[in-house]
Structure 1
Amino acid sequence: MEKKKNIVIIGAGFAGLVSARELERLGHTVTVLEARDRVGGRTWTDQRMGHKLEMGGTWVHWMQPYIWAEIQRYGAEIISSPICDEAFWIVGDEVKTGTEADVDRLLATAQATIFDGSRALFEQPHSPWLRAEEVAAADKGTVLDRVRGGDFTDEELAIVDAYWSAGYNGSTATASPMMAVHWAALSDHRLSLLDDQTLRWKLVDGMKGIYSQIAADVRGDIRLNTVVDKVHDHGKGQGVTVTLTGGSTLEADAVITTIPVGAMKAVEFSPGLPGHIQRVVDEGWNCTGFKIWVKCTGHRNVLTYAGSGHPIALMRTEYFLDDGTMIMVGFGSDHTAIDLNDVKDVQQAVNAWNADLEVVDTCGHDWNADAFTGQTWATPKTGQFVDGHPKKLRHGNVVFAGSDFAGGWNSFVDGAIETGFRAAREIDTELPA
């Protein structure tokens, strides 16, 4: 019989946990090392402000195949975010008002222009490397360059800027146009489906209801509070040495690392990182922003948009509480522009919409300042798209997984799960016994 392998997995987020579960199913032995005191990685369901809130990844959809399979596997249920009957958006120095449907109409034509080419470049959206040279050639300018110079009003351009400031969770001035085109391909080239997949449906019991069950299905050791300092690949058939903080080591036939690009500088990889990863480590992704939860007085279904220069790009109602308050979720492009946990600071940002929103509490986790992530969800700068969608995850005896490197929903939980499956398969079928 083929000799089964001993695998060390760095990171107990969705990618690491799924790869561990799948490798064990294939007969291999796994040890999972997690730097935090919890599993889940950039998904983290926590009790805040009187409600269960997602501090990281939140939204799911039945057209995201990998997370939907896990939802069915573990019997989870989904619920829709509210449709907003009040909308406020900023154009220059003026605040416009209407409904969510009004905002959708303003977005439609400009977004269709941004999505142009999605069918040709991404005929198979989960295999974006099939036309890598064409995609790389088209990865020029920025996402907003695709609508500049066209027949669009200042109002349309302002809302598009706000939309993608939130979507890229970073500056639209450096955002690769290819991510938006790829998202369109993953959404049947329709804005309405894109919105449904990225900001509409969430889990009733939170992401923890799934990632905790995956962790429970892993028979191998999941070691929390375990920080990795070095990963040394000895070469073909020679295995890998993993050195932990404090100097202790583990030997493995192969290693799967799910460390986000933003945190890779803290780990020494020898003989070195693959070129496409090292480039992004040196440059950083475009995701310099934040996610914030804001509690306000009243029960209103409110949506707000504000473009570059405003701390919060998008905010919308998510939950109503019995005490007469509501909780809204927001996103911005610069995590240094606002104190996520300061009511006065957030109130000042919210006042820009003149929406009569009184902030009574606020919270968020600064993932960019988190030493174990150094980023939010991975979004590419111009010229980085192909680097973030590699056809192969394995390099020697080290496999690079995680949502940063998904073929499909890169930067979403669905993409993280995808790479967990791919990493397990590449080790099982390609690594020499």
Structure 2
Amino acid sequence: MEFTHPTVIDPTGRDIHGEAARIRERGPVTPVELPHGVPAWAVSSAPLLKRLLTDPRVSKDARRHWHRWLDGEVSPDWPLYTWVAVRNMFTAYGTEHKRLRTLVSKAFTARRTAALRPRIEEITAALLDRVAKAGAGGGADGHAVDLREEFCYPLPIQVIGELLGLPEELGPELRAVVDGVFHTSADAAEVADTYARFYAVLGELVAVKRAAPGDDLTSALIAAREEESGTRLSEQELLDTLMLMISAGHETTVNLLDNAVHALLTHPDQLAHVRGGRASWDDVIEETLRAEAPVASLPLRYAVEDLPLGELGGPEGSVIRKGEAILAAYAAAGRDPEQHGPDAGTFDVTRAVKDHLAFGYGVHHCLGAPLGRLEARVALPALFERFPGLTLAVPADELRPVDSFISHGHRSLPVLTG
């Protein structure tokens, strides 16, 4: 294959689903152009993407396997630089990925996640009280409340903050820099500022936990040791692992909650299925993850060697060449008719098959997926039970997407509590 007539990815993410549909129309794998003219292959076929995500000939390590990085063509002012330059399990390959994931898994255990449920319930209840207070008055329907700002955002950021043992005073700065990481149309100055500020916050967090370790994930990551080699995370790996867990640990859940609420309020028949017992809240969560993937596209993977796609069920004769970049187009794959049928673009909580790739697949499947699902299982039923008359405060077509082609959600979600 050759990079001819690529689809230019809109860095502002103004039309995630429209762009995803255009990518799918060009075939299961198609050339795209990322910010600053960087070429990649977007994979929108769910079956092909699943095979590539588990193929050992596909890497996430730019330093070893991306020819543009090896040729010195990737600079720190690129809006996606943080996504490929960090040193953690997200960008690791082979034995190095196994080592890093093992160390993180020792700290981020299923027991630690499950133990968070009572605290998530407490935070949810407190936030719902805040929403109720903000929405009171203003006539029969009350005041409009930005549910993303008052509920969808603070819940996961508070949970991940407490999980990591983050001092409360660092919270506002942390939020600002995470927003910057997902701002894919940022200019060079903003990229550099975000990178520097993020490391400053993380360095302060690590210093606090080294001085006074606690029963939190940061302290556990500092102490984690790989059994076979006896090694710990290096200082850079520790900081970049914390960056990964903070960014991935809250942004995806913010969008999951935001998109689930939006989908149910714009599809009252689907909400009726849940209230009538014909579908569960788990059905809502999985259908939201499929049809409204919180991460629309995830950069980047790289071909370790030439990849004949015909061997993987893709187009015969098509080859992704060694060193070329691959973009996992999750929003496009979630609505792939080949996988989900001709109604793949329809939000349907009664859909029999809930198979999706929203949390990735294979060795890089998101470690935080159980926590994201747990937060949604607590938050969504509590929200709709507390506010059975919840409605959007503006027409749905007036909502604006977040400024990102990676993060898929709304800048605000104004509602009336009823």
Using the size of structure 2 for normalisation, the TM-score is: 0.29
Which structure's relative contact order is higher, taking Cα pairs within 8 Å and 6+ residues apart?
A: 2
- Structure with the largest fraction of helix: 2
- Structure with the largest fraction of strand: 1
Using the size of structure 1 for normalisation, the TM-score is: 0.28
